[in-house]
Each structure stands twice: as structure tokens, then as C-alpha cells.
Amino acid sequence: MAVDYQSLAVRGVQALSPYQPGKPIEELARELGLDPAAIIKLASNENPLGPSEKALAAAREALADLCLYPDGNGFELKQALAKRFGVEMSQITLGNGSNDILEVIARCFADADAEVIFSQYAFAVYPLVTQAIGARGVAVPARDWGHDLDAMAAAVTDRTKLIFVANPNNPTGTVHHGDAMLAFLEKVPERVLVVLDEAYCEYLQGDGYADGVELLSRFPNLIVCRTFSKAWGLAALRVGYSISSPEIADILNRVRQPFNVDSIALAAATAVLADEDYLKRSCDVNAAGMKQLETAFAEMALPYIPSSGNFIAVEVGERAGDVYQGLLQRGVIVRPVGGYGMPRHLRVSIGLPEENARFVEALKQTLESLGQGR
């Protein structure tokens, strides 16, 4: 008798569709018969600078010990992070990318009876991990493409266990200032955990933006998640971390895999934290590229959502799918965001100046060939 194995999966998983990553360069090269070197990818918010030399050197050195298990406690990296942020090592949890931590948090604190709150247009991983554990996701309508923090606090019920807040948010790039975050946290009951996902916090320049680590001492229900994938340029290695109370970190540590961050990743991440010059260049290149794209979009009369990340969502109109395809044909990979409920937008990661220029040129050609100013 044939068994329907799909039906054996737990209910949340049966209805799950996997996370859609940006199209890899090699895949487009195969499809179009192009040289991979002729393709630019501005689709996954990766750091266009390439990795830090210090991180590379440390990674190479770590290769000598490939036969050994990594330090399951990540002592050196935790020590470096604790020093940088003025927290205790016991407050830090390391993850195989911060995605790993987001999932571990959901598994530790929510179950099938729980409600998990996130915003419309927020990072796709929140609904995904929520559904995987069979909890009920509550998507609160956005305000001006950003999180409506008042409405999110008002959506808390007796069953609410977790609230995910992305600041800045991906894919919209919207950000909240410290006073708004403070007012929000004051409204959330202490029994509800707030996961403040700060994957892009390093790019925030200027005063007033919410800094989750500064809020931790006042809000024991806060978990701040950060990553080495973006401004620190180590997306391939998969390293992220959370900072929380030691009690919460202790819980997360029970569920995370014992060796979830490998030795190369640990070594490179520890080394890059000492490379302030790299971080500064990441931010400078990003700020300049953001201006470059904003200027181009304004010239082309394309509306965009002002962004505090290393990417920008531009409104290309109802034929966004065709525009995406047209860009692919011209060797430029960006990110469609129809899956986020933004069918008129494309998300573009900020590249090097020449990459941004090539994207703009390809966008102009594509829009022209589609016979639309927009």
C-alpha cells in the first residue's frame, strides 16, 4: 500500500513553502550560457567589497584544524563580542547565521498554541519559522511600508509568545528611532518576548536610531539578533548571534545544535571584529551607492522606499516580473518581492559604484524595451 509521505509531515510543515533565496550567479550563467564573470548579483544584500583580508587570513589559518570539532562554546568570538558591546559572555548565543537563532527562539518559546506577531512586509523567515512549529502567525498591517509598532503592541493576546521586529526591516528598509522602540517595548507585557532583528544595524549612521543592546538592561524580555552576513561581509560562513538576558541565552543554548558555528566561521568572525577599517568601508560604499541609486531612480521618476539597509526597494510598476526577467537577460540579478506582497517593487542590493551603474543602465534598457516609462 502506497504511503503518502507528505501527509506524514506535521501540519505546519505540510503547508510550508521554502524560503526563496536570490538567484545564484552560477545558475543564471548556466541558464543563459553566460560567463559568470559577466553577471552581477544585487539580490541577497551581500557585501560588495568581498571579504575582509583579516577574516580571510584567519579562515585560512583555521583550515589546519579541519579534523577537529569546533569550540562548541565559541569562547573567543563570544569574548570579542562581549567586549565590543559591553555585555557578559553569558548573554550571547551564537548561531549558524542569525536565521538559525530566529528558528531556535521560535522552537524554544512558541508551540502550536502560541501566537507570534510580525509585520506585513517583514522578513520572510518570521512567518516561516512560526508556521514550521505550528504556531499561529499574526501579520500586522504595515504603516508606510514599515512596522506599525502601536498596532503590533495592540495585537498582543493571552496567547502571544513572541514578537519579531526587524529594525531596519528587510525588504523595505524602514527603520525606527530609539524613542519609538522604547515606547513600543514599554507597552509589551514582560511575559512576551520581543526579538529585535538588527541584521543591518551597522549601516545606521547618525543619531537616534534604536540600539537594541542599549535597551537590554531595561527590558529583560528583549532578544537582540545580529549577523556577520551583511556589513561584516561573511555571508557564506553563516555566523550570527543574539544578545539577551543570561536566562534566555541559557534556554537557547539547550536547543541550538552543539556545533552550530564551525571553526572557520568562528575564526573569521572573531578576526573581522577587529577590522574597523573594513566596517567603515562597508558603510561608506553603501552610503555612496544608496545616493547613486536614489539619484538614478529620481531621474527615472521611479518611486522608491527610503532605506536604512544595504538595499533599496524600487517601484517599477505592475510588470515588475517582466522587469526582473529583462534585468536577468542583461546579466543583472535583483530580487522580486511579490512573495512579500509587493508585486510592483524590486529589491536591489547596493553594489560597488560600477555595479550600480550597470544595474541602472540595464534597468533603463529594460523599461525602454517594455515600452514604459515605468
Ligand X SMILES: *Cc1c(COP(=O)(O)O)cnc(C)c1O
Binding site for ligand X (CB under 6 A): 45, 97-99, 123, 166, 170, 197, 199, 227, 229-230, 235, 240
Q: Which residue is nearest to ligand X (CB)?
A: 97
Smallest gap from Cβ 67 to ligand X, in A, equals 27
d(CA 108, CA 265): 24
Q: Which 3 state secondary structure label does DSSP give 157?
A: coil
Q: Which 3 state secondary structure label does DSSP give 332?
A: strand
Which lies closer to ligand X via its Cβ, residue 230 or residue 330? Answer: 230
Smallest gap from Cβ 312 to ligand X, in A, equals 13
Which lies closer to ligand X via its Cβ, residue 170 or residue 263? Answer: 170
Which lies closer to ligand X via its Cβ, residue 139 or residue 370? Answer: 139
Q: Which 3 state secondary structure label does DSSP give 66?
A: coil
Residue count (the chain): 374
Smallest gap from Cβ 168 to ligand X, in A, equals 8
What lies within 8 Å, CB to CB, of 254 at 6+ separation is 108
Which lies closer to ligand X via its Cβ, residue 201 or residue 249? Answer: 201
Which lies closer to ligand X via its Cβ, residue 129 or residue 296? Answer: 129
Name which of 237, 241, 229 is nearest 282 in CA terms.
229
Dihedral pair phi/psi, residue 307, rounded to 5°: -120, 140
Which lies closer to ligand X via its Cβ, residue 151 or residue 235? Answer: 235
Q: Which 3 state secondary structure label does DSSP give 268?
A: helix
> Concatenated DSSP letters for 190-224?
TTSEEEEE-TTGGG--SS-B--HHHHTTT-TTEEE
Smallest gap from Cβ 159 to ligand X, in A, equals 25
Which lies closer to ligand X via its Cβ, residue 103 or residue 275? Answer: 103
Asked if residue 230 lies in contact with residue 200, where contact means CB atoms within 8 angstroms, the answer is: yes
Q: Which 3 state secondary structure label does DSSP give 170?
A: coil
Smallest gap from Cβ 125 to ligand X, in A, equals 7
Smallest gap from Cβ 197 to ligand X, in A, equals 5
d(CA 101, CA 236): 16
Label residue 247 exposed, middle or buried (CB < 10 Å: 0-12, 13-18, 19+). Answer: exposed
Which lies closer to ligand X via its Cβ, residue 216 or residue 269? Answer: 269
Name which of 283, 146, 122 is nearest 138 in CA terms.
122
Smallest gap from Cβ 146 to ligand X, in A, equals 13
Asked if residue 80 lies in contact with residue 273, where contact means CB atoms within 8 angstroms, the answer is: yes
Cell of 196: 529585535
Smallest gap from Cβ 332 to ligand X, in A, equals 20
Smallest gap from Cβ 281 to ligand X, in A, equals 19
Name which of 39, 85, 133, 81 is nearest 333 in CA terms.
39
Asked if residue 168 lies in contact with residue 206, where contact means CB atoms within 8 angstroms, the answer is: no
Which lies closer to ligand X via its Cβ, residue 199 or residue 332? Answer: 199
